[in-house]
Amino acid sequence: MTDPADPILRVAKLPIWTGRVEPRPLAGGITNKNYVVEDQGRKYVVRIGGDIRVHGIVRTTEVAASRAAHAAGVSPRVVHAEPGALVLDFIEGRTLKPEDVRQPGNWPGLVDLVKRAHEAIPRFYRGPAPLFWVFQVVRDYAHSLVDLGSRHVPALPRLIAIAEKLEREVGPISLVFGHNDLLAANFLDTGDRLWLVDWDYAGFNSPLFDLGGLASNSEVGEIGAERMLELYFDTYVDDGLRRRAAAMSAASLLRETMWSMVSELTSDLDFDYAAYTADNLGRFEAAWRAFQEMNA
The total number of structural domains in the chain stands at 2
- As a whole number of angstroms, the distance between CA 71 and CA 34 comes to 23
Q: Do 227 and 272 sit in the same domain of this protein? A: yes
Give the pLDDT confidence score for residue 280 in this predicted structure: 96
Q: Tell me if 174 sits within 8 A of 166, measured CB to CB.
A: no
If asked whether residues 85 and 209 sit together in one domain, one would say no
What is the structure's pLDDT at 3? Answer: 42
| Cβ neighbour number for residue 167 with a 10 Å cutoff | 18
173-219 pLDDT, tens digit each: 999 999 999 999 999 999 999 999 999 999 999 999 999 999 999 99
Q: How many CB atoms lie within 10 A of CB 105?
A: 7
Mean pLDDT computed over every residue of the chain: 94
Whether residues 198 and 219 share a domain: the answer is: yes
pTM of the model: 0.93
Model confidence pLDDT, tens digit, residues 5-46: 689 999 999 999 999 999 999 877 777 789 999 999 999 999
Q: Report the CATH number at residue 36.
A: 3.30.200.20
158 and 30 fall within a common domain: no
Domain match, 142 and 277 both? yes
Same domain, residue pair 257 and 149? yes
pLDDT at 274 > cutoff 70: yes
For position 2, what pLDDT does the model report?
41
Would you state the pLDDT for residue 295?
A: 77
Indicate which CATH number applies to the domain containing 105: 3.90.1200.10
Average pLDDT over residues 131-148: 98
* Residues of the chain above pLDDT 70, percent: 97
**Within this chain, do residues 83 and 129 fall inside the same structural domain, yes or no?**
no
**Percent of the chain whose pLDDT exceeds 90:** 92
pLDDT digits (tens, 9 = 90+) for 45-99: 999 989 999 999 999 999 999 999 999 999 999 999 999 999 999 999 999 999 9
Cα–Cα distance for residue pair 13/242, rounded to 1 Å: 51
Q: Give the model's pLDDT for residue 1.
A: 39
| Predicted local distance difference test score (pLDDT) of residue 5 | 65
**131 is in which domain, residue-wise?**
95-294
2 located within any domain: no
> Do residues 54 and 196 share a domain?
no
E strand map for the chain: 24-25, 33-39, 42-48, 78-82, 85-89, 94-95, 176-178, 187-189, 194-196, 203-205
